[in-house]
């Protein structure tokens, strides 16, 4: 009888799980929200079931709707992927109660390991070191202040529930701790429904190393290598690699033994990750257990040749582990996460239609992508577009392969972190010592100052507009952004900021502008500018042009006469999201930088501060209100200059 698997997730992880399930002969079922109806994971499943509207709380996080979809699909197995409901014990219990099997640990194990304090207790019982800290029942500010004084600053405050770095706060001085506790409680309550916190000593410049664990129903527990995930920003991983390059053989064996001991003591089943923090002296301390498949699991698969999803499915069906993890020679793998976000704007998530996407295709490179050309990136979910993973005979060759793969990755239509991760990987290649604070320390080097679009960008953008105009079905036709004159001379008006160019192109190509030669290649949106690779695509009055490692967004058409700005300063939402804090009070004076609102969007807390000294004259938004990008949150009267 054919086994039916429903994946209670979306995007790249759903596609990745489906690949293995199809290979082993299972019937695959996707569930999707209205925002995701046209994404590849929906199309690629054998069947797909709508579970609700776009907000995650009404779709991917709604346990009753997910169970109803699984019943409708007649699913035998339910795989949670990562995030959403993956580590929620009540979801695992609901799957079991519905007569299906949950692809993951038992609900009881999820409950224990989901409590970071209880998990640290397990580690202590098997003599694995944990960081000094406080995880008591007394959750008052005073209890945490007393504990921090006893341990000594700096300290880290974390939610007891959840993971993924959500809600973590670094506190370096006592005067910061009350605000940090308030922020952590607010995030913990919103994200996990549990405001409990713990505190632990902060290790300066640590490395984040994790061990991959597999455990079957027969009590067999094995490790499948380790990974270094130290390159992080705001506790979110960016670049991951396997094996961890700084561990010696003896330390690697001790860490693997510690991971196995913790998994056995917890009664662990299925795939999981035991995470450690490693200090500058090489001592390691237990951090937490991620009781699910990790985002970065592909680096382990590429080094060890183990399909971790296949092992998950085997374990869930009661089969013994079929894995003999031996690293194949000196193989090394490195992964970079590609996000729809704008590093130059504080990494704000970016939304829009992907007008051009091209992923690298070369031996030794794997791409786990959730999106294709034409898909729309919305504000409702994590902005991860894809993971680009490269394998080499050693670390140096793997990094070189990844650098080439990232150079070959093309994404137009939203802002991305591509240039950022390319530069970060270059730092790896240069031998920079990586720790969890590296990215924040060298952030200015990773995000160069914004440069105006060069002439080459105008040239390729104009060529892309002309190419689009020749397609009678193209939405650009007749928009008035250009005029086609006699003798096939075409003038394209493009602008960025204060610069406006009337680019005149002759014939059907090759084109020339400002001394630069633009030649079309066979594939759509691909061009050569002065012999170098470039890409450009147009959509809704905007041309995206990528050349020389940079990407620019040019508007079409002549500039309208600009209206002079008013004296009032703007207090507006930086992007669509939910107002989770409102400190603005009408008729109250504020100073520049004072916090007025906090907007939560795509797992980020965005501060909206007073733009200058002045007075809030009217409050327009309140806690719990959904707001759109640019929506005014308050009326503000700036002090005279």
State mean pLDDT over 30-55.
97
Q: Per residue in 199-246, pLDDT tens? A: 999 999 999 999 999 999 999 999 999 999 999 998 889 999 999 999
Burial class (CB in 10 A: 0-12, 13-18, 19+), 610: buried
Q: Which of the residue ranges 177-191, 310-324, 328-342, 563-577 would you say has the lowest mean pLDDT? A: 563-577
Instruction: For residue 127, count other CB atoms closer than 10 A to its CB.
Output: 8
What pLDDT is recorded for position 522?
66
> Which residue would you say has higher pLDDT here, 172 or 478?
172
Pick the closest to residue 507 from 524, 481, 489, 526 (CA basis).
Answer: 489
> Which residue would you say has higher pLDDT here, 602 or 26?
26
Domains of the chain in sequence order: 4-103 (3.40.50.20), 132-201 (3.30.1490.20), 207-446 (3.30.470.20), 455-556 (3.30.700), 571-638 (2.40.50.100)
Percent of the chain beyond pLDDT 90? 73
What pLDDT is recorded for position 558?
56
Q: Is 278 helix (H, G, I), strand (E, B) or coil?
A: strand
**Is the per-residue pLDDT at 563 higher than 80?**
no
Per-residue pLDDT band for 498 (boundaries 50, 70, 90) equals: confident
Instruction: For residue 10, count other CB atoms closer than 10 A to its CB.
Output: 26
The distance between the two most distant Cα atoms of the chain, rounded to a whole number of Å, is 84
Strands of the 169-171 sheet, one edge to the other: 133-134, 197-201, 155-159, 169-171
As a whole number of angstroms, the distance between CA 120 and CA 136 comes to 12
Q: What is the mean pLDDT of the chain?
A: 90
Per-residue pLDDT band for 258 (boundaries 50, 70, 90) equals: very high
Residues in the chain: 641
Which DSSP letter does residue 245 get? Answer: T
State mean pLDDT over 400-409.
97
Pick the closest to residue 343 from 239, 415, 403 (CA basis).
Answer: 415
Contact predicate 483/496, CB 8 Å:
no
**Is the per-residue pLDDT at 486 higher than 50?**
no
**Is the per-residue pLDDT at 470 higher than 70?**
no
What is the number of alpha carbons within 13 Å of residue 22 lying toward its C-beta? 12
As a whole number of angstroms, the distance between CA 527 and CA 530 comes to 10
As a whole number of angstroms, the distance between CA 318 and CA 487 comes to 73
Percent of the chain beyond pLDDT 70? 93
What pLDDT is recorded for position 469?
64
Contact predicate 212/297, CB 8 Å:
yes
What pLDDT is recorded for position 561?
38
Strands (E), 340-471: 341-342, 348-349, 352-353, 356-358, 365-369, 376-377, 384-392, 410-412
């Amino acid at each position: 009888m054919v086994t039916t698997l429903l994946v209670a997730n979306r995007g790249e992880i759903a596609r990745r799980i489906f690949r293995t399930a199809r290979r082993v002969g299972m019937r695959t079922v996707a569930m999707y929200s209205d925002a995701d109806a046209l994404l590849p994971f929906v199309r690629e499943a054998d069947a797909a079931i709508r579970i609700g509207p776009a907000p995650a709380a009404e779709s991917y996080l709604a346990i009753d709707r997910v169970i109803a979809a699984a019943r409708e699909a007649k699913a035998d197995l339910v795989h949670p992927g990562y995030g959403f409901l993956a580590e929620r014990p009540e979801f695992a219990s609901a799957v079991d109660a519905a007569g299906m099997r949950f692809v993951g640990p038992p609900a009881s194990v999820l409950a224990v390991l989901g409590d970071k304090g209880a998990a640290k207790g397990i580690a202590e019982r098997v003599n694995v070191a944990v960081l000094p800290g406080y995880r008591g029942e007394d959750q008052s500010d005073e209890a945490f202040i007393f504990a921090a004084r006893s341990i000594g600053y700096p300290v880290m405050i974390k939610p007891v529930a959840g993971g993924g770095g959500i809600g973590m706060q670094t506190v370096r001085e006592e005067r910061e701790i009350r605000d940090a506790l308030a922020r952590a409680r607010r995030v913990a309550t919103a994200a996990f429904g549990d405001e409990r916190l713990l505190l632990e000593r902060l290790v300066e410049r640590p490395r984040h190393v994790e061990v991959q664990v597999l455990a079957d129903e027969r009590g067999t527990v094995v490790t499948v290598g380790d990974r270094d995930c130290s390159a992080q920003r705001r506790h979110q991983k960016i670049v991951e690699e396997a094996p961890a390059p700084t561990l010696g053989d003896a330390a690697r064996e001790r860490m693997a033994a510690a991971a196995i001991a913790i998994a056995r003591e917890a009664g662990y089943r299925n795939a999981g990750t035991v995470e450690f923090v490693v200090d500058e002296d090489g001592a390691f301390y237990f951090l937490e257990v991620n009781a699910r498949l990790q985002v970065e699991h592909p680096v382990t698969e590429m080094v060890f040749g183990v399909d971790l999803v296949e092992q998950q499915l085997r374990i869930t069906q009661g089969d013994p582990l079929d894995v003999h993890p031996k690293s194949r020679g000196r193989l090394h793998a490195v992964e970079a996460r590609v996000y729809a976000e704008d590093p130059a704007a504080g990494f704000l998530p970016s939304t829009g239609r992907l007008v051009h996407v091209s992923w690298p295709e070369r031996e030794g490179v794997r791409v786990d992508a959730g999106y294709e050309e034409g898909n729309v990136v919305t504000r409702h979910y994590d902005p991860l577009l894809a993971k680009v993973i490269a394998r080499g005979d050693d670390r140096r060759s793997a990094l070189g392969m990844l650098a080439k793969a990232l150079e070959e990755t093309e994404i137009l239509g939203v802002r991305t972190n591509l240039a950022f991760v390319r530069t970060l990987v270059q730092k790896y290649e240069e031998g920079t010592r990586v720790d969890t604070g590296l990215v924040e320390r060298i952030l200015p080097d990773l995000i160069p100052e914004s440069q105006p679009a060069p002439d080459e960008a105008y040239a390729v953008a104009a060529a892309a507009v002309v190419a689009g105009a020749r397609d009678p079905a193209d939405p650009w036709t007749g928009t008035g952004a250009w005029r086609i004159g006699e003798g096939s001379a075409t003038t394209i008006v493009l602008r960025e900021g204060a610069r406006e160019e009337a680019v005149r192109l002759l014939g059907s190509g090759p084109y020339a502008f400002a001394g630069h030669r633009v030649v079309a290649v066979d594939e759509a949106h691909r061009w050569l500018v002065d012999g170098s690779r470039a890409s450009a695509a147009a959509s809704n009055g905007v041309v995206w042009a990528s050349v020389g490692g940079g990407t620019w967004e040019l508007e079409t058409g002549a500039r309208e006469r600009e209206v002079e700005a008013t004296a009032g300063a703007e207090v507006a939402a930086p992007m669509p999201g939910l107002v989770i804090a409102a400190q603005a009070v009408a008729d109250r004076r504020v100073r520049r930088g004072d916090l007025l609102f906090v907007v939560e969007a795509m797992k980020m807390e965005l501060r909206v501060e007073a733009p200058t000294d002045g007075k809030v004259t009217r409050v327009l938004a309140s806690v719990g209100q959904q707001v759109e990008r640019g929506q005014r949150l308050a009326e503000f009267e700036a002090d005279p200059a």
